[in-house]
Amino acid sequence: MANQANVNPVPDTLLDRFRPAPRGPWADLPDAQWNDWRWHLGHSLTTVESLRQVIDVSEDEAAGAEEGRDAFKIGITPYYAALMDRKDPGCPVRLQATPRTAEMHVDRWDLADPLAEERDMPVPGVTHRYPDRVLFYVTHDCAMFCRHCTRKRKVANPGTAANAQQIQAGIEYIRRTPAIRDVIVSGGDPLTWSDDRLARLLEQLRAIPHVEIIRIGTRTPVTLPQRITPDLVAMLRQFHPLFVNTHFNHPKETTREAFEACRLMADAGIPIGNQTVLLRGVNDDAAVLMDLNRRLLMMRVKPYYLFQCDPTRGNSHLRTTVAKGMEIMDALRGWTSGMAVPYYVIDAPGGGGKVPLLPSYVVYRDDTKIVVRNYRGTEHTYWEPET
């Protein structure tokens, strides 16, 4: 568990709702090893045989691993693996982590690069689509390889590693493009890097006068919370304004360890946002997302986006309909704090960017008035100003 020194107190009544994660077959491992993020990366589960330590591997999972051997690697930290239900292949954590034969099915609309990120790269690794911000791909590596990953075309593939030259060219592009005020450092997962290596990158970005904010995209608070150490946050806080966006998908992931990781970052003044992906069988249920988002707020993590799952090759078994997403949003808005309601967006295939989707609350509108329905379905009229 993350070091708890110098963190602000949280009432025990709230803290008690965040249970320490089970350790599964590693119950007897010394704490020093379990709390060491490098131990987890060094003991990543990458084969069916290693998975058998934690789950009764189903025929479909075994066949999925065999058939998909060359398509998308398996890689699960012991921490995340121990969250999986041994018996239930439909466990929401397991569905995100273990391969299935359905990944070999390619739907008519599936794309290798659904967001056309490669098309909008002025230099390799920098996607510059929106006027004032860029996505900076710095590594192909992740603590865990999520089965629904949008970038599975390159993530986990050493052939797409961003070498030092490419990263330097990316920094140079950002430096000579004054319109860029927001840099999203992403991958892969930048927190698979050492603190020193990440600090060198952040130093260079922070030295560019027109870069106002830096965001780090990382799933380590979910899949490897041990990575969020006091040393890491002491380093990150030197580069404010710096934000972290993470990716919790299910309440089972909100363990005490995850709580402590987020507490360390929040106490260091790092605002944390969450980007959930709507996944069939994992979280396509309003009660599950309501619970997740309320728990995230207690962790000082703002639910930011709920993404319609991208049509990445082999993802169709995890995708839900947009109608389902709208139904869920209707069941969230008004029924819980607005703070707990993320934007529901489609990242438009072909590089159209993020488009928000909302159930319609407008019943009627003309030049004089608008009639709206509220979350309970009652209608109300708002009159426009007469002058």
Looking at the annotation, which residues are catalytic? 129-130, 133, 142, 146, 149, 151, 310, 347, 354
Which alpha helices (H) appear in 228-304, and where do they start and end? 230-236, 256-267, 286-298
Please give the C-alpha separations between residue 375 and each of 322, 330, 358, in angstroms, as whole numbers.
19, 7, 12
Q: Would you say 247 or 336 has its CB closer to ligand SF4?
A: 247
CB of 194 to ligand SF4, least distance (A): 18
Among 21, 95, 134, 146, which residue interacts with ligand SF4 (rule: CB under 6 A)? 146
81 touches ligand SF4 by CB under 6 A: no
Task: Identify residues 319-358 at the interface with ligand SF4 (CB under 6 A).
Answer: none
**Do 142 and 161 form a contact (C-beta atoms < 8 A)?**
no
Residue linked to tokens 């995708």: 319
| The residue type at 57 | V
97 touches ligand SF4 by CB under 6 A: no
CB of 151 to ligand SF4, least distance (A): 5
Task: Identify residues 177-216 at the interface with ligand SF4 (CB under 6 A).
Answer: 187-189
> Which range touches ligand SF4 (CB under 6 A), out of 24-32, 53-61, 146-154, 231-239?
146-154
263 touches ligand SF4 by CB under 6 A: no
Q: Is the dihedral of CA 243, 247, 252, 258 positive or negative?
A: negative
219 touches ligand SF4 by CB under 6 A: yes
CB of 188 to ligand SF4, least distance (A): 6
Among 40, 151, 252, 263, which residue interacts with ligand SF4 (rule: CB under 6 A)? 151
145 touches ligand SF4 by CB under 6 A: yes
113 touches ligand SF4 by CB under 6 A: no
How far apart are alpha carbons 347 and 26 in whole angstroms? Answer: 39
CB of 97 to ligand SF4, least distance (A): 10
**Do 311 and 111 form a contact (C-beta atoms < 8 A)?**
yes
Q: Would you say 98 or 336 has its CB closer to ligand SF4?
A: 98
Please give the C-alpha separations between residue 311 and each of 52, 100, 107, 258, 314, in angstroms, as whole numbers.
30, 17, 8, 29, 8
Q: Would you say 303 or 336 has its CB closer to ligand SF4?
A: 303
Site string for ligand SF4, 152-181 (x = CB under 6 A): ---x--------------------------
Q: Measuring CA to CA, which residue among 68, 80, 236, 218 is closest to residue 152?
A: 68
**Do 213 and 180 form a contact (C-beta atoms < 8 A)?**
no
Q: Would you say 191 or 290 has its CB closer to ligand SF4?
A: 191
Q: How many residues bind ligand SF4 (CB under 6 A)?
A: 10
103 touches ligand SF4 by CB under 6 A: no
Map 317-381 to HEC letters: HHCCCHHHHHHHHHHHECCECHHHCCEEEEEECCCCEEEECCCCCEEEECCCEEEEECCCCCEEE
> Which range touches ligand SF4 (CB under 6 A), out of 14-22, 147-155, 208-216, 261-269?
147-155
Sheet holding 272-278, edge to edge: 126-127, 133-139, 182-187, 213-217, 242-246, 272-278, 301-308, 343-348, 353-356
224 touches ligand SF4 by CB under 6 A: no
CB of 148 to ligand SF4, least distance (A): 7
**Do 231 and 195 form a contact (C-beta atoms < 8 A)?**
yes
Contacts with ligand SF4 by CB under 6 A lie at 142, 145-146, 149, 151, 155, 187-189, 219
